[in-house]
Amino acid sequence: MNRHRLATAAVVLGLLGSLTTSAWAGPHAHRAAPPDRGTRVSSAPGSSTALAGYTIQSTAKVSDPPAEISSPGYPTAGWYPTGSRSTVLAALLANGVYADPFHSTNQQKIPKADFQVPWWYRSDFTVADTSERTYLDFSGVISAADVYVNGDRVATAKDVTGAYTHHELDVTSLVHAGSNTVAFRIQPNDPDKNLTMGWIDWLQPPPDENMGIVRDVLVRRGGPIALRDAHVVTRLDVPSLASADLTVKAQARNDSGAPATTTVSGSIGTTTFEKTLTLAAHETRTVSFAPSDVPGLHLTSPKVWWPAGMGGQPLYELKLTASVSGTVSDTAQQTFGIRDVQAPLNSDGARQYRFNGRRLLVKGGGWSPDEFLRWDRTYVEDRLKYALDLGLNTIRLEGHLEPDEFFDLADRYGILTLPGWECCDKWEGQVNGGESGDKWTAADYPVAKASMAAEAARLRDHPSVISFLIGSDFAPDATIEKNYLDALEAADWPVPVVAAASANSSPQLGSSGMKMTGPYDWIPPDYWYAKREGGATGFNSETSAGPDIPTLDTLRRMMSPAELDTLWKNPNAKQYHRSPSSTFGTLKLYDDALTGRYGAPASLADYVRKAQLAQYENVRAQFEAYERNATDSSKPSTGVVYWMFNSGWTSLHWQLMDRYLDQGGAYFGARKANEPLHVQYSYDDRSVVVVDNRHSAASGLTVRATLFNPDGTQKYDRTVTGVKVSGDGAHSTALTLPASLTGLASTYLVRLTLSDSSGKEVSRNVYWLSTRPDTLDWSHTDWYYTPTTSYADLKGLSAMAQVPVSATASTDASGETATTTVTVRNTGSGKTPALFTDVHLVDAQGKPVLPVEWSDNEVGLWPGETVTLTATYRTADLHGSVPRVRVSGWNTPERTVPAA
């Protein structure tokens, strides 16, 4: 993107593991793994057993020769235990070596010198017998490693290099019955010099640069014939969806020194198939089954996989077995989905995704793993559920390609994914001009190609994966592109390949059809409606108005009192929890806009409440503009990725929810915009439109628009009946608000309601607007923002009278999932509405209960109005506490009520 961000062993294709560690990565706690007592490895042919954990130590503290370190019985007193996937720093954090790096500037105190030498990773495993062959199967080494088994080196760091390359080492001759040892001597990482992963300008980079082993190392067992690379190529008939053809492929490999005859048999559901073939010693051959020879692989009425909200997410399973003389030699399994993804360029040159024949507006967010690459399934699943709650359909992974479990979850929940390589380090060093990242040497090209081959094999059967972006800010040159495309073709890659996430082209693929025009820092809400730069036209692969200030609860958890004081008082102060980039080092653009539009903050609490209001209106406008323009005949919007969906640490920018999964203005602004059936205001032409994000059309709708001064005086009211709108993202204009009204204050409120044909309210949307608009200086647009020369006047909100809001709540916590029902009511005696009423579920100590899914939140209540909200969450997250509900708002005194 135009961010200008700072920033052999047999190598075969594999379907491996994790970019994170097994140490607890969630927001609540971190703990070390138990000491490694040796992993018991199954003897069953076709089994894969992940090493349970390691003990690790710096080579600066270990002088013994590798042959001793990698032999059974070597003493590891003083070494650090860690889990099966762990960076060095993640292990040290889990062992309590350093203070919480997410708080204040603690991370700055961790000495980088500790990670500029290699570290040993040592693990023992036991094998009951040696009648089966044994392999080490792994990827996820950062940055490179020498590998030893039982005292012998089996691979060098020259061979085992790159975070994504996959390796299979046949160690049959070295493994014996009983205890065995594998040891990795991990080399330090530098993302500018190695094809690994870096953090660009997302957050303060970890001092160890994520050196370690961040995917499972598997011990595989099998007979003379190995099955590898099993996958299914699907061809769905579109648009009928009435049939699908499946082609099963796998590699049969004879690892013995003599010819062998094997029978490869398999099944998908009730369809079975079988072939017998003879392989010469050490020969590998492709085995395939197609509808032409297995009629059952032609499916009628197939179970088609859809994104969430468009249909179901059925999955199929392939099972394969290779037998020799009736004895099982190896097995393979693969889950897959049947779907069709196309992404042609439209007449404007923008990439337009079509899923199973239907046009798709990509509404996504940029994903960040944990900063220390720690894997926690529950924490990841919680964030993916948040994506669904927000109405998003896509997650973009710029590098940091998560483990198989991530894509399994995406498949299950119907969340689309856009994986690809990252910018601003070695991955684009050959093509990115003056940005960081070393130029490539001859040794880098095969590593990049092997990385592409491994990830293609790993991701191709996941129906949630809809593309691979082989470039980010820059497209690859001809040589690199050919290597990538050759690897993808060899892997039977089934979905579109995109040259870059920016508006760049590559020699074979041509135009990316995407844009990366920003913004990445503050701009006003009306910016999004312009069909230029980052506005709502085409496919914007990463964009937002920059800072996303967390809730006060989270700020107090992540920053010291002195830092919090500086946060609201000094816009020019460098903020450690924003970015290492000089461009994004302060909050000045954001703070100037906050003061210019809402008035200078009077306290930390005032700063945070104004921030939540500003973030709500801006994020809402971003998604609403892209949704409204999606079906335009000229220059339609085709995709938008909010930058970013989440942060890998405690951050002040680029996040729809914070590290601890608390929700504020940015979250609920996105959620409001992405309602299934939604009424919204257009900042560019004052139109009030209804957007239908469902497949089915709607008719008999009623839209009402009412304008108020901040004191609640009504200045305009209009109701339009008989509104109808087509589905699949279409919009219908119900009315246009007048350009001026007598007596309308410079700051005013707009309340929009949408009712269905039965009279039930299905959407309500409240805006705070100004008769004096924000003015953009388009001629001085930079890569990260467009200057605002004058601000909208929203200061009138500060004069709103305080309004009491009553609340009653009750909780059903009888099962694993608890539900708290809250009824809030504006009990004020005057005309003033309660603006931006926020309800937080808290425990007895006032700490937020997270994660939580609300039916709605941050609502506007006019006098006498009542709304009932529900919060759903895990009962266990109460930790035995009695739940309470904290109610606050823009002009509502905070109060907490019981919710038992």
Residue 30 has pLDDT above 80, yes or no: no
Residue 36 has pLDDT above 90, yes or no: no
Catalytic residue set: 473, 542
Closest CA to 223 of 263, 185, 192: 263
Phi and psi at residue 836, to the nearest 5°:
60, 50
% of the chain exceeding 90 in pLDDT: 95
Give pLDDT tens digits for 298-330.
999 999 999 999 999 999 999 999 999 999 999
Q: The pTM is what? A: 0.94
Give pLDDT tens digits for 132-144.
999 999 999 999 9
Phi and psi at residue 755, to the nearest 5°:
-120, 145
Give pLDDT tens digits for 603-634.
999 999 999 999 999 999 999 999 999 999 99
> Which token pair is 836?
């931006």
The residues near 105 (Cβ < 8 Å, ≥ 6 apart) are 576
> Would you tell me how many other CB atoms lie within 10 Å of the CB of residue 894?
12
Query: Residue 596: what pLDDT?
Result: 98
The pairing of strands 284-289 and 298-300 is unpaired
Task: Calculate mean pLDDT across residues 524-546.
Answer: 97
Residue 197 CA to residue 189 CA, distance in Å, equals: 9
Residue 442 CA to residue 801 CA, distance in Å, equals: 69
Task: Calculate mean pLDDT across residues 787-807.
Answer: 97
Query: Residue 90: what pLDDT?
Result: 98
Query: Residue 25: what pLDDT?
Result: 38
Q: What is the Cβ-side half-sphere exposure of residue 295, based on CA atoms within 13 angstroms?
A: 0
Query: Residue 37: what pLDDT?
Result: 59
Task: Calculate mean pLDDT across residues 488-499.
Answer: 98
Query: Residue 7: what pLDDT?
Result: 32
Task: Calculate mean pLDDT across residues 627-652.
Answer: 97
2 against 326, higher pLDDT: 326
Buried b / exposed e along 472-489 (16+ C-beta atoms within 10 A): bbbbbeeebbebbbebbe
| Helices (H), ranges, 462-586 | 478-490, 552-558, 561-569
Query: Residue 17: what pLDDT?
Result: 30
Query: Residue 181: what pLDDT?
Result: 98
Mean pLDDT computed over every residue of the chain: 95
**Which amino acid is located at 457 in the chain?**
A
Q: Quote the longest CA-to-CA distance of the chain.
A: 94
Query: Residue 893: what pLDDT?
Result: 94
Residue 443 has pLDDT above 50, yes or no: yes
Task: Calculate mean pLDDT across residues 24-30.
Answer: 42
Residue 645 has pLDDT above 70, yes or no: yes
% of the chain exceeding 70 in pLDDT: 96
Task: Calculate mean pLDDT across residues 678-684.
Answer: 98
The residues near 23 (Cβ < 8 Å, ≥ 6 apart) are 30, 31, 32, 33, 82, 83, 86, 90, 91, 93, 94, 374
CB-based burial label for 182 (10 Å; 0-12, 13-18, 19+):
buried
Confidence band, pLDDT 50/70/90 cuts, at residue 2 = very low
Task: Calculate mean pLDDT across residues 855-884.
Answer: 96
* Radius of gyration, CA atoms only, the chain: 29
Give pLDDT tens digits for 175-233.
999 999 999 999 999 999 999 999 999 999 999 999 999 999 999 999 999 999 999 99
Confidence band, pLDDT 50/70/90 cuts, at residue 433 = confident
Residue 18 has pLDDT above 90, yes or no: no
Residue 570 CA to residue 552 CA, distance in Å, equals: 17
Give pLDDT tens digits for 704-761.
999 999 999 999 999 999 999 999 999 999 999 999 999 999 999 999 999 999 999 9
228: Cα separation from own chain's centroid: 29
Residue 375 CA to residue 409 CA, distance in Å, equals: 13
Evaluate whether 122 touches 53 at the Cβ level (below 8 Å). no
